[in-house]
């Protein structure tokens, strides 16, 4: 006979049953504590308005409730149950009222209407059974609009309080046109705790006198100085649509002159979903340096790249990585990232794999190693090569000429020869304005690289693109300035009169890609860099844009020019000229002297031998003799370290 399963003893059964019941009770009590008080408040509002309408005689003669005194408690219970039914159907207890909107307001209205209908039906049915109706038949329905308004105000009170004026600093918002008012609306709904919009100025006239959620549109931004004074603004936020325009940079200058901090805000549709607070960012050098917004058309470049293998040397660098991002959008068949920076190409490859479906290959190879480099070219068979790999820090290379020659000169020679051997269609060398004067070791090495491309004879179409400094690249003064300002100073500048040509990385890369369909073999192209920018003016602008004063809040230290540096750079040598191309931002440089490939080969082998033997002094002399002589730049004035206390603004 099989044993029958035995139930557990009662002493063990009771706790188990209690454990199933207790959580339910706890949840019920918790819900009552969270929502019961609010529901009771709504029921009291509903009940009080019904009493008021009854006493005031709506739907009949004035007077109190009908029936015995305990009907007052009965009608309160009826109001509570009716509101509970309405809240449950429209889920009022699940809504976040600090960010309530139109849908939430409608939900409140429908919930009250349902509660009114239920209360009215209960009031009517009490008369059918021979009892006494507490209220006249029309009272619940006549009171409904008042109940909707009162309960709505009660429910929306957190939303109204969250929109109340804050005690933050006063912010003047400059928008491009009326379509950016939606961004101001989001400002107000998710305001930054430190800054409160108090007025709006537009770049397009015609909206003066209007308001956006209570914030006045004062008029055209052309009168920005006046609006800053009249609104007592303590900061200015610019809603930018793409890169800053010249008109906006003129407005930046007005704000900087007034010592006001400047913030840049993207349009609302560019914000991350769920972003809390205004995504204010401080004015950057890109905003100050970037030129008037324009579309750089690279559709014809896409026709050159589509379906082909593209190789980028120095892919982990500032220019190389941005070049890879642009090329990835041109639909190549395969993109090869070549660099010796393991972490850099790993992170870039992962980024590109997320955003595109093209094949990404990493090549952890040094361009100095000709055998390994040749193996990469033989395996990948690229059709287009961008050669960005180079050492670029001028003062550092002055004390490391061997490394400068091996990487910049020998590495470029190796890459160009491998490209020719692999039958590469197009080879683009990234050059620099430092190659013009050949004053520094870095400049001499890059000039020799230009001569390699100019003197190359073969099936590969090869050309060089020369441009100046790019804002935000590794080693650029801009990230250094921003870091020094964040740390409270001092900001270090080599000389008060030093100036440089500057452009944004994005613009430089797009123009380099733009040369693909127009580039001719043996040519040197130069990008239009615009006017030179004084580094001191740039530092002053960055300091003022953060609401601080140069020389007082942030000290500026002049450290003196470092080895290899010049007061200013040049884009053309004294014996060079330019002629236009199909793109006004790209100029074709005419150089009168192009060495033969045999002469170049001898020179490169000579400097390679000297570098490998470690004969630095002779290496530098040979390198500087190898590049064609140009007029030596005027010697720079020496300057000892000093502080800028109160220097007049030059911005």
Is the pLDDT at 187 greater than 80? The verdict is no
Is the pLDDT at 651 greater than 60? The verdict is no
The whole-number average pLDDT for the span 468-483 is 77
d(CA 142, CA 122): 16
Specify the DSSP class assigned to residue 475. Answer: T
Query: H/E element holding 380?
Result: helix 370-380
- pLDDT tens digit sequence for 195-211: 788 888 888 877 777 88
Structure-model confidence comparison of residues 6 and 475, the more confident one: 475
d(CA 18, CA 29): 16
Residues 143 and 266 occupy one common structural domain: no
Structure-model confidence comparison of residues 266 and 461, the more confident one: 461
Residues 468 and 607 occupy one common structural domain: yes
d(CA 236, CA 647): 24
Looking at the DSSP assignment, which residues form a beta bridge with residue 491? 556
pLDDT given at position 475? 65
Tell me, yes or no, whether 81 lies in a domain: yes
- pLDDT tens digit sequence for 33-53: 556 667 777 778 777 777 777
Residue pointed to by tokens 């004053």: 439
d(CA 541, CA 651): 7
Task: Tell which of 283, 303, 337 closes a domain.
Answer: 283
Task: Tell which of 252, 268, 283 closes a domain.
Answer: 283
Which residue range(s) make up the domain with 501? 385-626
- pLDDT tens digit sequence for 524-534: 999 988 888 88
pLDDT given at position 564? 81
Looking at the DSSP assignment, which residues form a beta bridge with residue 220? 202
**Of the residues 308, 392, 434, 534, which is catalytic?**
434
Residues 89 and 179 occupy one common structural domain: no
The whole-number average pLDDT for the span 606-631 is 87
Query: H/E element holding 37?
Result: helix 37-55
Active site residue 434: yes
Residues 63 and 190 occupy one common structural domain: no
Residue pointed to by tokens 């890459």: 415
Residues 76 and 192 occupy one common structural domain: no
Q: Which of 30-44, 451-465, 632-646 has the lowest mean pLDDT?
A: 632-646
pLDDT given at position 512? 96
- pLDDT tens digit sequence for 268-311: 555 544 444 445 555 666 666 655 445 678 889 999 999 999 99
The listed range with the strongest mean pLDDT (12-21, 131-140, 632-641) is 131-140
Residues 258 and 136 occupy one common structural domain: no
pLDDT given at position 367? 97
Tell me, yes or no, whether 175 lies in a domain: yes
Helices (H), 487-591: 505-514, 535-544
The whole-number average pLDDT for the span 419-439 is 93
Tell me, yes or no, whether 132 lies in a domain: yes
Is the pLDDT at 13 greater than 60? The verdict is no
Tell me, yes or no, whether 528 lies in a domain: yes
Torsion sign across C-alpha atoms 369, 370, 371, 374: positive
Between vectors from CA 103 to CA 100 and to CA 186, what angle results, nearest 5°? 50
Give pTM, 2 decimals: 0.62
Q: What is the largest CA-CA distance in the chain?
A: 120
Tell me, yes or no, whether 421 lies in a domain: yes
CB atoms within 10 A of CB 444: 28
Is the pLDDT at 551 greater than 50? The verdict is yes
d(CA 589, CA 132): 102
Residues 211 and 260 occupy one common structural domain: yes
The whole-number average pLDDT for the span 577-595 is 89
Question: For residue 318, what are the CA distances in angstroms to 322, 392, 507, 591?
Answer: 6, 12, 13, 29
Structure-model confidence comparison of residues 241 and 402, the more confident one: 402
d(CA 506, CA 498): 24
8 Å CB contact between 77 and 113:
no
Question: For residue 69, what are the CA distances in angstroms to 494, 579, 622?
Answer: 91, 101, 113
pLDDT given at position 68? 65
The whole-number average pLDDT for the span 461-476 is 84
pLDDT given at position 16? 43
Residues 490 and 605 occupy one common structural domain: yes
pLDDT given at position 524? 95
Which residue, 419, 421, 623, 426, is CA-closest to 523? 426
Q: Residues with Cβ < 8 Å from 635, sequence gap 6 or more? A: none
Cis amide bond preceding 490, omega within 30: yes
Structure-model confidence comparison of residues 258 and 363, the more confident one: 363
Residues 182 and 133 occupy one common structural domain: no
Q: Which of 137-141, 291-295, 578-582 has the lowest mean pLDDT?
A: 291-295
> Where does residue 574 rank: exposed (0-12), middle (13-18), buried (19+ CB within 10 A)?
exposed
Share the mean pLDDT of the chain.
80
d(CA 169, CA 233): 8
Is the pLDDT at 2 greater than 70? The verdict is no
Looking at the DSSP assignment, which residues form a beta bridge with residue 643? 557
Residues 94 and 241 occupy one common structural domain: no
Please report, rounded to a whole number, the percentage of residues in the chain having pLDDT higher than 70: 77
pLDDT given at position 179? 77
- pLDDT tens digit sequence for 481-525: 888 888 888 989 888 888 888 888 888 999 999 999 999 999 999
Q: State the pLDDT confidence band at 618, using cuts at 50, 70 and 90.
A: very high
Helix, strand or coil for residue 89?
helix
d(CA 401, CA 608): 11
Q: Which of 136-150, 320-334, 360-374, 482-496 has the lowest mean pLDDT?
A: 136-150
- pLDDT tens digit sequence for 299-353: 899 999 999 999 999 999 999 999 999 999 999 999 999 999 999 999 999 999 8
CB atoms within 10 A of CB 619: 23
8 Å CB contact between 337 and 408:
no
The whole-number average pLDDT for the span 551-562 is 86
Looking up residue 516, the CATH number of its domain turns out to be: 3.40.50.720
Question: For residue 588, what are the CA distances in angstroms to 465, 507, 525, 623?
Answer: 9, 18, 5, 26
> Where does residue 331 rank: exposed (0-12), middle (13-18), buried (19+ CB within 10 A)?
middle
Q: Residues with Cβ < 8 Å from 483, sequence gap 6 or more? A: none
The listed range with the strongest mean pLDDT (134-148, 465-479, 555-569) is 555-569
Look at the chain and report how many structural domains it folds into: 3
pLDDT given at position 168? 66
Tell me, yes or no, whether 448 lies in a domain: yes
Q: State the pLDDT confidence band at 114, using cuts at 50, 70 and 90.
A: confident
Tell me, yes or no, whether 633 lies in a domain: no
d(CA 573, CA 590): 10
pLDDT given at position 94? 64
d(CA 444, CA 627): 7
Is the pLDDT at 456 greater than 70? The verdict is yes
Residue pointed to by tokens 């191309």: 581
Residues 196 and 157 occupy one common structural domain: no
d(CA 342, CA 348): 10
Q: Which of 26-40, 43-57, 574-588 has the lowest mean pLDDT?
A: 26-40
Q: State the pLDDT confidence band at 11, using cuts at 50, 70 and 90.
A: very low
Residues 413 and 470 occupy one common structural domain: yes
Helices (H), 385-440: 394-398, 401-404, 411-421, 434-437
pLDDT given at position 170? 85
Which residue, 559, 539, 578, is CA-closest to 643? 559
Question: For residue 563, what are the CA distances in angstroms to 339, 395, 426, 433, 448?
Answer: 28, 5, 36, 17, 20
d(CA 427, CA 425): 7
d(CA 384, CA 305): 8
Tell me, yes or no, whether 484 lies in a domain: yes
Helix, strand or coil for residue 138?
coil
- pLDDT tens digit sequence for 226-255: 889 888 888 888 887 766 777 888 888 888
Q: Which two tokens stand for residue 311?
A: 């190789």
pLDDT given at position 113? 80
Helix, strand or coil for residue 123?
helix
8 Å CB contact between 368 and 361:
no
Torsion sign across C-alpha atoms 411, 417, 418, 423: positive
SS3 assignment for 436-465:
HHCCCHHHHHHHHHHHHHHHCCCCCEEEEE
Task: Please state the length of the chain.
Answer: 651
Structure-model confidence comparison of residues 103 and 496, the more confident one: 496
Torsion sign across C-alpha atoms 286, 289, 293, 297: negative
Please report, rounded to a whole number, the percentage of residues in the chain having pLDDT higher than 90: 32
8 Å CB contact between 366 and 406:
no
d(CA 387, CA 418): 12
pLDDT given at position 447? 94
Q: Which of 115-124, 126-135, 267-276 has the lowest mean pLDDT?
A: 267-276
d(CA 177, CA 181): 8
pLDDT given at position 130? 63
Task: Tell which of 254, 283, 312 closes a domain.
Answer: 283
Is the pLDDT at 87 greater than 80? The verdict is no
């Amino acid at each position: 006979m099989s044993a029958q399963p035995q139930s557990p003893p009662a002493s063990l059964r009771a706790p188990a049953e209690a454990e199933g019941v207790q959580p339910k009770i706890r949840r019920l009590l918790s819900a009552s504590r969270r929502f019961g008080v609010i529901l009771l408040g709504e029921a009291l509002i509903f009940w009080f308005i019904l009493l008021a309408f009854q006493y005031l005689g709506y739907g009949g003669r004035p007077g109190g409730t009908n029936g015995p005194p305990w009907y007052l408690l009965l009608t309160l219970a009826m109001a509570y149950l009716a509101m509970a039914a309405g809240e449950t159907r429209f889920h009022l207890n699940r809504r976040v009222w600090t960010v309530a909107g139109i849908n939430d307001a409608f939900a409140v209205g429908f919930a009250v209407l349902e509660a009114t209908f239920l209360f009215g039906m209960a009031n009517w049915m009490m008369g059918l059974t021979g009892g006494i109706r507490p209220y006249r038949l029309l009272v619940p329905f006549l009171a409904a609009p008042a109940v909707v308004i009162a309960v709505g105000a009660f429910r929306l009170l957190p939303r109204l309080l969250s929109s109340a004026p804050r005690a933050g600093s006063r912010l003047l918002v400059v928008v491009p046109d009326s379509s950016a008012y939606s961004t101001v609306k989001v400002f107000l709904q998710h305001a930054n705790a430190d800054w409160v919009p108090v007025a709006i100025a537009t770049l397009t006239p015609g909206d003066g006198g209007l308001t956006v959620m209570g914030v006045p549109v004062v008029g055209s931004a052309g009168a920005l100085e006046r609006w800053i004074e009249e609104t007592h603004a303590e900061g200015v936020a610019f809603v930018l649509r793409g890169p800053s325009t010249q008109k906006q940079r003129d407005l930046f200058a007005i704000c900087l002159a007034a010592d006001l901090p400047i913030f840049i805000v993207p349009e609302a549709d560019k914000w991350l979903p769920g972003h809390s607070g205004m995504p204010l960012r401080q004015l950057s050098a890109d905003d100050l340096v970037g030129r008037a917004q324009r579309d750089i058309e690279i559709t014809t470049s896409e026709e050159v790249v589509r379906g082909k293998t593209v190789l980028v040397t120095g892919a982990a660098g500032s220019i190389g990585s941005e070049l890879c991002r642009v090329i990835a959008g041109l639909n190549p068949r395969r993109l090869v990232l070549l660099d010796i920076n393991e972490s850099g190409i790993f992170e870039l490859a992962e980024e590109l794999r997320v955003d595109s479906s093209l094949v990404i290959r990493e090549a952890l190879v040094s361009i100095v190693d000709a055998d390994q480099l040749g193996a990469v070219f033989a395996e990948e068979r690229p059709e287009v090569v961008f050669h960005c790999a180079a050492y670029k820090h001028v003062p550092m290379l002055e004390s490391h000429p061997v490394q400068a020659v091996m990487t910049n000169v020998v590495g470029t020679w190796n890459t160009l020869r491998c490209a020719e051997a692999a039958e590469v269609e197009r080879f683009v060398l990234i050059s620099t304005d430092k190659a013009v004067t050949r004053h520094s070791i870095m400049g001499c090495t890059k000039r020799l690289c230009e001569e390699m491309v100019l003197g190359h004879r073969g099936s590969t179409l090869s050309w060089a693109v020369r441009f100046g400094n790019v804002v935000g690249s590794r080693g650029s003064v801009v990230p250094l300035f921003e870091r020094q300002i964040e740390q409270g100073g001092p900001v270090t500048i080599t000389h008060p009169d030093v100036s440089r040509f500057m452009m944004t990385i994005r613009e430089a890369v797009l123009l380099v890609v733009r040369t693909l369909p127009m580039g001719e073999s043996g040519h040197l192209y130069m990008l239009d860099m615009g006017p030179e920018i004084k580094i001191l003016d740039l530092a002053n602008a960055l300091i003022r844009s953060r609401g601080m004063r140069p020389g007082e809040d942030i000290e500026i230290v002049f450290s003196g020019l470092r080895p290899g540096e010049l007061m200013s750079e040049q884009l053309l040598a004294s014996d060079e000229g330019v002629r236009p191309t199909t793109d006004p931002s790209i100029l074709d440089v005419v150089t009168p002297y192009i060495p033969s490939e045999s002469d170049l080969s001898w020179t490169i082998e000579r400097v390679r031998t000297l570098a490998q033997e470690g004969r630095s002094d002779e290496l530098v002399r040979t390198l500087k003799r190898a590049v064609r002589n140009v007029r030596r730049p005027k010697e720079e004035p020496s300057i000892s370290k000093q502080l800028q206390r109160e220097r007049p603004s030059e911005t």
